[in-house]
Amino acid sequence: MEGKASMVPFLFLTFVLSLSPSQPAPLLQSQTLVLNRLPSPPQSLSWSDADEESQPSSSSAGGDPESADSIFSLQLHHVDALSPNGTTPQQLFNSRLLRDASRVKSIEFASAAAVGRGAGAGFSSSVISGLAQGSGEYFTRLGVGTPPRYVYMVLDTGSDIVWLQCAPCKKCYSQSDPVFDPRKSSSYAGIPCDAPICRRLDSPGCNSRKRTCLYQVSYGDGSFTTGDFSTETLTFRRTRVARVAVGCGHDNQGLFVGAAGLLGLGRGKLSFPSQTGRRFNRKFSYCLVDRSASAKPSSMLFGDKAVSRTARFTPLISNPRLDTFYYVELLGISVGGTRVPGITASLFKLDPTGSGGVIVDSGTSVTRLTRPAYVSLRDAFRVGAGNLKRAADFSLFDTCFDLSGKTEVKVPTVVLHFRGADVSLPASNYLIPVDTSGAFCFAFAGTMSGLSIIGNIQQQGFRVVYDLGGSRIGFAPRGCA
C-alpha cells in the first residue's frame, strides 16, 4: 500500500513534465511598419543659386589634406525629379524597376567579363557603368570648367570614370542643361598620350593629330560614350577641385537619363575618390532618404566629417579581377530575431577567380541575393508575416501583401550580419508600396548570378560611410538628420 501511495507523486510529476515543452519556442521579434504611399515626383529641384554664384576656394585634386576646404557636402536628388510633368507615382515606380533590371544586368556583365566570361572585345569590365538605360538613381549639380558651367551629374559607386557630354557633338543624347563646351573653359587641358594617367585607362586611345589621350566607356546593353580624356576643374558648391581627369564625350549613344554625365565613385584608380584621395582623406558618405516618408533631399559628404561616430564598420575585401566595386562579407541574415538556417557565409563567398561575393551599390534599388539565400530569407519572412493577407506577385517580387485599409502593421525584423557589423533594417527598407491600392512587397529578389548586391532601398536612412583609407564601409542608423 505504501509503495503504491509513493508512486502517486512520481506519476503526477511525470505527467506534468510530459505536458511541458522541451524547448520554449523563441519569441518572434517584430517592429511597426507605418504604411506610406508611392512617392510622387518632386514639384521642383531645390538648388541654391547662391551656391553657384559664390566664389569657391580652389585646390588641385591631390591638394593639401590639411586645407580648410577639404570637407564639403552635396545635395542629392533622385532621378525621378527629372521625369516629365504628369508622370504618375505608378509610372515612376515601374520605370525604376526597369532601370533596376538594366543596372543589375550591367553589373553582372562586368563581373562576368572580369572572370573571362563574355568580355566585350576592346573594353574592360572596370569601366562598365550602370548609367546605361538611365539606371543611375541619384544625381547632384556641380560646376564644370572655368568659369563653371553648372550641370546635373549622376553619382555612381559602381563606376570609376568621370565623364560628361561635350561640344562639338558627333552624337549627344538630350540633357537638361546646355552641353558643356571645353573651348569656353580656361582650365580645360588635354592629357598627352604618354601620360601615366592615360595609361591607367584599360583601353586608351590616342588622337594622332593632337597626340592627346582618348577614352571609351562601354555598357552591358551596347550603349557607350567616347571622346577626349582631359583634365578639368570641378566646382562643388563653394569648393573647387582642379585637374580632375574627366572624359569629355563627343559621341554618346544609348538610352541615358537627362543628366550631363557621371561622377564615378568606385574603388578604381580613376574614380573621383581615388583621384582626390589626399585632399579628402579618401572618405565620403551618403544618406539616401526614403522618399515615400520624407521630402527632404538626400545628402553626400566628402572628407573627415563624412565618417559618422555611430557607424558600424565592416571590412572591404578586394576582388583582384575587378577593382571598381565595393565588396563586403555577408555572414548571414536574421528574421524575427533568429538566424535563418539556410543562409551561410559560403553562399556569398568571393572565390579566387573573382566570381561571387557581395557588393554595396548606390545605383541598384532592390537587393539581389544568390537564389538559395533569397529562397531561405523569403520563406522565413513569409512564416513570420503569416498574419498578413497575401497579394499577387508584382514584377520581380514574389512575396506581396494586401495592406489596403490599414495605416500600420507589425512585421518581423530583418538584420544583415556583415563581418563586424550587424545592420538592423527599418521595416520600410524591406516592405515597400508597389501600387496605389495598398499592395506592399518584400523588397529583396533572387539572382541566378553568383554576385549579390546590397541595393539602395535597404540603405535608406543609413549614413553609408566609405572609408577607403581604412578599407572599410560603415552603416550609421538614422544618419540623414
pTM for the full predicted model: 0.87
The three-state secondary structure class of 143 is strand
pLDDT for the residue 118? 34
CB neighbourhood size of 67 (10 A): 14
Please state, in angstroms and rounded to a whole number, the distance separating the CA atoms of residues 462 and 474: 9
pLDDT for the residue 24? 56
pLDDT for the residue 176? 85
pLDDT for the residue 74? 87
Ranges of the chain with pLDDT below 70: 1-26, 42-70, 117-136, 219-222, 255-257, 295
Residue type, 187: S
pLDDT for the residue 103? 85
With left for phi above 0 and alpha for psi between -120 and 50, is residue 84 left, alpha or beta? Answer: beta
Q: Which of 80, 361, 435, 467 is catalytic?
A: 361
Q: Which of 100, 156, 435, 467 is catalytic?
A: 156
- The long-range contacts involving 96-101, CB below 8 angstroms and separated by at least 24 positions, are 96/137, 96/365, 97/365, 97/366, 97/395, 97/396, 98/133, 99/133, 99/134, 99/135, 99/137, 99/365, 100/135, 100/364, 100/365, 100/366, 100/455, 101/396
DSSP at 345: G
Please state, in angstroms and rounded to a whole number, the distance separating the CA atoms of residues 16 and 411: 35
pLDDT for the residue 220? 63
Asked if residue 108 lies in contact with residue 135, where contact means CB atoms within 8 angstroms, the answer is no
- The long-range contacts involving 190-197, CB below 8 angstroms and separated by at least 24 positions, are 190/228, 190/229, 190/230, 191/229, 191/230, 191/231, 191/245, 197/229, 197/245, 197/270
pLDDT for the residue 455? 94
Is 361 assigned a catalytic role?
yes
pLDDT for the residue 87? 86
Please state, in angstroms and rounded to a whole number, the distance separating the CA atoms of residues 119 and 111: 9
Q: Which CA distances in Å does 253 have to 127, 154, 201, 250, 336?
A: 16, 17, 20, 10, 47
Is 393 assigned a catalytic role?
no
pLDDT for the residue 186? 98
Asked if residue 329 lies in contact with residue 358, where contact means CB atoms within 8 angstroms, the answer is yes
Asked if residue 89 lies in contact with residue 178, where contact means CB atoms within 8 angstroms, the answer is no
Nearest 5°: the CA angle 124, 126, 127 is 80
pLDDT for the residue 204? 93
pLDDT for the residue 129? 37
Q: Which residues contact 270 (CB under 8 A, 6 or more apart)?
A: 160, 161, 162, 197, 200, 201, 245, 264
pLDDT for the residue 318? 94
